[in-house]
Each structure stands twice: as structure tokens, then as C-alpha cells.
Amino acid sequence: MARTAVGIDVGSSSALAIKGAWKGGTFHVSGFAAGQNTSGDVGSGWASLAPGFKLTNARVGISGRDVNVRYSRVPEVPDWQLRNLMRFEVQEIGDQSGAEVASDFNLLPRPPEVAGEDVVLLAMSRESLLDEHIDGLAAAGGTIDAFSPNSVALYNAFVRYGVVQDDTVLIASIGAESTDVVITRGADLLFARNLSGGSKLFDDALAQRLGMGAAEAESVKIDHVDLAPGARHETAKGEKATRSVLGAAGQITSLLQSTVMFCKSQVKLSGLKLDRVLVCGGGAAVQGLPEYLSAGMGVPVERFDAFRVVDTSGLSPEEADLLSENELESVVALGLATMASDDEAYGLELLPEAVAKKRAFMGGTIWLIAAAVLGLAFLGYKVSAKSAKLDSIEKRAKSFASVAARAERVHEQTKDLVEENETLSARVTELAAVAGAGEQVARVFDALDDNLPRDFWVTRVTSAVAVDDDLGIERGAEKPLLTVNGSARPGTQSPTSQFQTFAAALQEDLDGVSLNPSFDRNAFRIVLTHFAPPAADSDDEEGEE
């Protein structure tokens, strides 16, 4: 069954929400809402949104200065090492900015020109921005699915609802203060970016050059500006207004051209050439803008009509009319809703750390705990039930001692129950060891994350129930042991001293742990356990003698 979701795009001038589900090869819209963000901040944007449907499973788009979408090329490495590389990069950026950062990454299709490397798209956002959106969503009675960059939503909208050919296409969503851009080759995403600057450049130019207020500038932009080369203006006001915004139109052109140049340098595709450009967003509605951009960039430019293949029959007449008025602005919201509903969509999903931990707990850990509790309860019930049955059989055996054949059967049943009880007891012991080993692994990983020196790498972590004479664990009394193998980067200063400090930090953080560390050249090995027997107190023993 298709998953119904909501895509929400709260910008500095508008707030849009699309509800629906991806099924049958297209998106079926069942709800649409739009609001005008008069103050320009996140809170007022959410306050302006008054949908007639619940904002559940909401995928919220993010863009602007607090969002950073980066393109990286990294060597081919295992998934765990790639996660570490991205985590270190995010941590470094967070330390530089002095703010908590939420992030996610995903691999991009590898271009034929790139060999021996993986191409990674990394998205980061200040958690303060995400918290503002979560507060607004909560006030509207909604629930968050995830946050995704608007540029990634724009890509998903293009590959699902655009005309995809074997050509290179730049798709730009021109908002009021920011522009989200992606470059694709066929259905493959080559580059994604969010840029500062949008249609407000036109409003500012009109206000400055013609001495008018923001509301009047917006009205003049819509009614009188025509950027098409060679356009004939019916009024002197239209001609004057158009001349006033030519500089702003040139800035938009430069933004898109600089994106192509930046993509060439980052992707290292010097021969990359655009075949066409698609524009959407509120800024794309400026009359003559596609023709102006086409003249400046030397390729065909069209407005992106993403709703031609979208099923809107589930909307009320009022919602359908409202969507028709806002189709250009709603492309990103459509892409967000598609990502939340379609499991096969390319995605980057950001969440504040607290929300991510809560979701991980509710989605996995709590079920494991519940399963363990139920398992132990079931074992206890079985043991109790079997014990009661055993008592009953013993009483019957005493009462009918004269019936030898029946007494023999009771005897065999009793033996079976005793064996089953021993098996269950062994399983209980095994489950306890597994639970202890799992807790030990979790604590050690937290300690490694806090104390591992910068130039040290963990190459392998193994957990096993085993013997270790150095830790006092003898054969026949095996305990869960955790072995951490790793190495230091060649050329690391004072690796032995760093390792000793590292081992001491682990000993201090892991209360009650017994360590057996060793360091040889650039490789280290630490065997540890929380289950070692307590060391004998020699002074007490001498006193007793």
C-alpha cells in the first residue's frame, strides 16, 4: 500500500504543503495548501499555513544560508570508513561554526569520467534551523518524517515528472532570497547546490531605482516587467520598470552560469555543456525571464511544468484552483512529498540529534528490549508450568505406585522435563551473556568515540565469549571479551604516549572494566571485559592467616 505523506516548503515569502501518495507510476495529490509569509521568518511562514488536512509524515524542505550542500570525491572505502570520513568532515565544520550540525550523505552515480573514486553528496544544516521548523510543525499539529535539501527534492521532481532524455539539464527553483539548483545528465544527478539570491533582487532594484515600497515593487514586477529581449512595452512605466531590473536579471544569469563552472571544477568534467535549462519557483513567473536567460546562457530555457503528469483529481475545486495559481512555486513541495512516499526516491534525510536518537530507540532498540523481556517472561512461564506439571506427576506416581507400566511412563516424562529445564537454564545463561556483551559493546563504542586520538583508526572490533589468563578469566568460566584492533597513522607524533593516554581514558570512562592493552609500532590491540572476577585482596588474606 502506498504511503501517504506531506511535502512542505516554507520559504521567506510563501509556505506550501502538498499531501498525497506515489502509486501507479505517478503522484496522487489529495491535499494542497498555500500561505503568504509576510514577515519572512520561519515562524511566520508556518503560522501562515492553514491546511484542511493533517500534516503527518511531513518531509520539510530546507535551504538558505543555514544549509550547506557539498560535493565530495573520496577513495573507494568500506561503508563504515566512509561514514567515519563524513562524520569527521561534519564535526570539523560544526567546530568551525560553533553550532550543532545535523547531516546526511548519499552516493551519487559515478560519471564515466571518474575512475577509482566514489562521488558523495553531503548535506548539513544548523540544528537551530531544524528546531524552528519542528516547533512550527508541532504548532500545526504535524509530525516530522525528515528534513531534505530543496535541491534534492527538485531533482526528484525532475526525474519523476520532467522530460528526461540523454542530455545535460540545469533545473533551478528561484525563490525569493535563495535559488536551488541541480544539474543532471540523463537521469543521473551530477551536482546539487543552494545559492543566495532570488526574485527579491528584482523587488529591491525596483524599490531602489523607482522609490517605491516592497508591496508596490512586487506588484509592478508582476504586472509591468517583461524581460524578453526585444519586448515592446505598452506603457512607459513598463519600459522603465524593465530597465530597472536588468541588473538583477543579470545577477540571476550569473548565478546559474557560476553553478555550471563550479560543477565543472568539482566534478572535473571540463567538457560539460548544458543542453537546456528548466526554471521554477516564484521567481520563474517573471514575464520574459526564460527568454532572457536563454539569450544569456545560449541554451533553451523553459518553465518546468511538473504537474502535467500528476493526478490532482483528489483535490477539492478550491484546492485545485489554488494549486493552479502556485504550480511553479510548488515543484519543490511536490518533490519532497514524492521522496517521503516513494522508497526508491534518491534521498538525503536530516534530523536533529535528539529526534534521531529517539526515532532509533523507538524503531529498533525498544523492540529488542521488549522481545528480550517477553522471551525471558515466556521462559519463566514455561519453567513454572513445567515445574507444576512435574509436581503433579510425582504425586500421581506415588498414588498409583501399583501400576508399574504407568509409573514407568511418568518416570520418562519426568526425565524429559528435567532435561528441558536444563536446556532452558542454559539458554537463559546464554541470553544473559548476549545481553551483557551487547551492553559492553555499546559502552565501548561510546568511549572510543570520545577518546580515540585523531590520528588513530579502529580497524576491527570483535566480541566473543572466551578465556584470557591475563584478565583472570579461566577455562570453564568463559566471559564476554571485546577485542579492539587498530593502528596509528604513520608519522604520528609520540604514538606510544598517545596510546597510553588513550588506554587510561578508556579505563576511566568504562567503570569496572579490565583492560589488557598492547602497542607494537603503529598497531594496537586492546582486550577488555566488564565481567572479569575481582582481584584478590592480598592484605586481607595475610590478615586472615
C-alpha cell at 222: 508582476
Rounded to two decimals, the pTM is: 0.66
Q: How far apart are the first and last CA of the chain?
A: 76
CA dist 6 and 52 (Å) reads: 12
Residues 494, 458 within the same domain: yes
Beta bridge partners, 276, equal 169
Host domain of residue 527:
452-545
CATH number of the domain at 511, please: 3.30.70
Residues 467, 416 within the same domain: no
C-alpha cell at 168: 545535460
- Does residue 16 sit within a domain? no
- Does residue 512 sit within a domain? yes
Q: Return mean pLDDT, the chain.
A: 87
If one compares 167 and 70, the residue with the highest pLDDT of the two is: 167
For range 67-83, the mean pLDDT = 86
Closest CA to 221 of 229, 234, 212: 212
Supply the pLDDT for residue 370: 65
pLDDT surpassing 50 at residue 538: no
Is residue 356 very low, low, confident or very high in pLDDT (cuts 50, 70, 90)? low
Supply the pLDDT for residue 407: 64
C-alpha cell at 166: 540523454
- Does residue 34 sit within a domain? no
Domain boundary among 411, 441, 471: 441
- Does residue 26 sit within a domain? no
pLDDT surpassing 60 at residue 11: yes
Residues 458, 542 within the same domain: yes
pLDDT surpassing 90 at residue 264: no
DSSP state of 48: T
Is residue 104 very low, low, confident or very high in pLDDT (cuts 50, 70, 90)? very high
- Does residue 177 sit within a domain? no
Closest CA to 64 of 4, 18, 10, 118: 10
- Does residue 379 sit within a domain? yes
Residues 368, 436 within the same domain: yes
If one compares 327 and 431, the residue with the highest pLDDT of the two is: 327
Domain boundary among 422, 441, 460: 441
Closest CA to 176 of 14, 9, 303: 14
C-alpha cell at 196: 543566495
Residues 484, 401 within the same domain: no
Residues 430, 493 within the same domain: no
If one compares 350 and 424, the residue with the highest pLDDT of the two is: 350
- Does residue 220 sit within a domain? no
Residues 482, 436 within the same domain: no
- Does residue 304 sit within a domain? no
Supply the pLDDT for residue 75: 85
For range 156-176, the mean pLDDT = 95
Is residue 422 very low, low, confident or very high in pLDDT (cuts 50, 70, 90)? confident
DSSP state of 302: E
pLDDT surpassing 50 at residue 545: no
Supply the pLDDT for residue 418: 82
- Give the tens place of pLDDT for each residue, 441-455: 888 888 888 899 988
Residues 402, 465 within the same domain: no
Residues 436, 388 within the same domain: yes
Supply the pLDDT for residue 541: 46
If one compares 6 and 271, the residue with the highest pLDDT of the two is: 6
Closest CA to 53 of 315, 307, 306: 315
If one compares 163 and 388, the residue with the highest pLDDT of the two is: 163
Residues 377, 427 within the same domain: yes
Supply the pLDDT for residue 362: 53
pLDDT surpassing 70 at residue 366: no
- Please give the backbone phi and psi of residue 196, each rounded to the nearest 5 degrees, phi first: -85, 130
CA dist 282 and 175 (Å) reads: 6
pLDDT surpassing 60 at residue 476: yes
Is residue 542 very low, low, confident or very high in pLDDT (cuts 50, 70, 90)? very low
pLDDT surpassing 80 at residue 359: no
For range 250-275, the mean pLDDT = 89
- Please give the backbone phi and psi of residue 12, each rounded to the nearest 5 degrees, phi first: -80, -10
Residues 469, 539 within the same domain: yes
pLDDT surpassing 90 at residue 44: yes
For range 126-137, the mean pLDDT = 93
Identify the weakest region by mean pLDDT among 363-367, 462-466, 479-483: 363-367
If one compares 530 and 361, the residue with the highest pLDDT of the two is: 530
Supply the pLDDT for residue 539: 47
Number of domains comprising the chain: 2
Domain boundary among 404, 420, 441: 441
